[in-house]
Amino acid sequence: MELFRLGISEARDLLRRGEVSAKDILDAVFSRIEAVEGSVKAFVSLTRAEAYERIETLARTGDDGSLAGIPLAVKDNICTKGIRTTCSSKILEGFVPPYESSVTEKLNSSGYVLVGKTNLDEFAMGSSTENSGFFVTRNPWDLERVPGGSSGGSAAAVAADECLGALGSDTGGSIRQPAAFCGVVGLKPTYGRVSRYGLVAFASSLDQIGPITKCVKDAALLLNVISGHDKRDSTSVPVEAPDFTSGLDREIRGLRIGVPREYFIEGLDPDVERSVRDAIEALERLGAEVVEVSLPHTGYAVATYYILATSEASSNLARFDGVKYGFRAEGKDLIDMYMETRASGFGPEVKRRIMLGTYALSAGYYDAYYRKAQQVRTLVKSDFEKAFEEVDVIVTPTSPTAAFRIGDKVSDPLQMYLSDIFTISVNLAGVPAISIPCGYTTEGLPVGLQIIGKHFDEAAVLNVSYAFEQSTGWHERRPGIDRLNR
């Protein structure tokens, strides 16, 4: 048995039955990392010494938490006390947080083992992980292609079996799109379901932390651990979280599934459309009723998002000035030091977004851009509310294409931004959504199916996802990284 190929729930069952030890699994995972990480480059930092110390502590204390001994990875924009957190940016290259994020605090309480911090587009700004300040992560299905972004390191690590699961963050599709590109499961919870305390902010009204896993059940297990109200986060909603694993196996017969006409558009890759249409037919065979719905303001979502997200980024990233923490450049005076620090500390995409946001917020343009974008955001949210009066969930492609080649879009920001055209509206509306594998292109690349739910109805999203997953088995296919790595 190759233990590194286990999912979270499979490993947990083996550990509880005493058939393997936590050290056995950890040994297998680090052996796997040694074998493939040189090609994939999913991790910014590995925490081998801390991981082995952790399982020794767990063995001494007899910890039997829900994730006791399970090796997971965490995206490197989520603070981990005493462990470097860089946001894949030169400006935070040496930053070691003095506190723990809420989600990793909860993971610690559950007994998890951190194997490393994963690469991302700098400050989570990107759709390919090519904007990392350190290096490009590669897709385990084809090492010449991107893993998606910004949580590309987490998705690639899970797909390459370098961990049993991971956390990512999603501002406009940054969990779901890389999950689709890498053939794994990625869940963005409802905004406010999971605390953002300790997540380095990109766009505070859009950011949300969520799981990236090998199957739907594992996503539900992780969501059980990380969700819940947190008084340290003013946007955390005091809504009781159910056990997300308890209703996974309910029948979906009679559920109404909405298919928005605006998501099957010119430019949608034929292989992606074929796989998603086949998935919709599979859901019908399981007894679901398919209903065409309309989300009429979808066409405005990308423009709206890139005004709001960049405006919030401009505000949030003002704190990185070389004074309090992180990288500091030399300057002839204070203002010069600020300018030199930010000029050399931030990469091109981060600078582009700061400038866009600063412009949108500036005097004379605020009403024309930022205020109007907020009004359109309300319309996008209303679209979902009206659609959900008719249906239980909405099904769409996750991305208009499968993983593209490294370098294909990095010099054309608009084409890169359009990679998230099907995921952005979900963040604007604050609703939950998941990407699950639903097929492959003629080139053998994974295709993702996006399932969107009502506010705080992750249970329905997971139920439909699990029913599809169990009836098709697409998630069981693994990338040919062993062959590619030779």
In a domain, 422, yes or no: no
pLDDT tens string, the chain, 486 residues long: the values are 799 999 999 999 999 999 999 999 999 999 999 999 999 999 999 999 999 999 999 999 988 899 999 999 999 999 999 999 999 999 999 999 999 999 999 999 999 999 999 999 999 999 999 999 999 999 999 999 999 999 999 999 999 999 999 999 999 999 999 999 999 999 999 999 999 999 999 999 999 999 999 999 999 999 999 999 999 999 999 999 999 999 999 999 999 999 999 999 888 999 999 999 999 999 999 999 999 999 999 999 999 999 999 999 999 999 999 998 889 999 999 999 999 999 999 999 999 999 999 999 998 899 999 999 999 999 999 999 999 999 999 999 999 999 999 999 988 887 888 889 999 999 999 999 999 999 999 999 999 999 999 999 999 999 999 999 999 999 999 997 766 554
In a domain, 453, yes or no: no
Of 313, 348, 376, which residue constitutes the final position of a domain?
Answer: 376
Of 342, 376, 410, which residue constitutes the final position of a domain?
Answer: 376
Out of 102, 110, 150, 236, pick the active-site residue: 150
pLDDT of 325: 85
Query: 235 with 351, same domain?
Result: no
In a domain, 112, yes or no: yes
User: What CATH number does the domain containing 467 carry?
Assistant: 3.90.1300.10
What is the number of domains present in the chain? 2
Active-site annotation holds for 150: yes
Query: 366 with 228, same domain?
Result: no
Cα–Cα distance for residue pair 261/227, rounded to 1 Å: 32
In a domain, 108, yes or no: yes
Query: 223 with 371, same domain?
Result: no
Active-site annotation holds for 409: no
pLDDT of 64: 86
Of 353, 376, 399, which residue constitutes the final position of a domain?
Answer: 376
Query: 318 with 241, same domain?
Result: no
Query: 194 with 81, same domain?
Result: yes
Out of 9, 41, 75, 195, pick the active-site residue: 75
Out of 9, 169, 174, 465, pick the active-site residue: 174
Provide the residue range defining the domain that includes 319: 298-376
Query: 126 with 219, same domain?
Result: yes
Active-site annotation holds for 435: no
325 alpha carbon, distance to own chain's centre: 26
Cα–Cα distance for residue pair 351/349, rounded to 1 Å: 5
List, in order, residues 6 or more apart from 241 with CB less than 8 Å away.
193, 223, 224, 227, 228
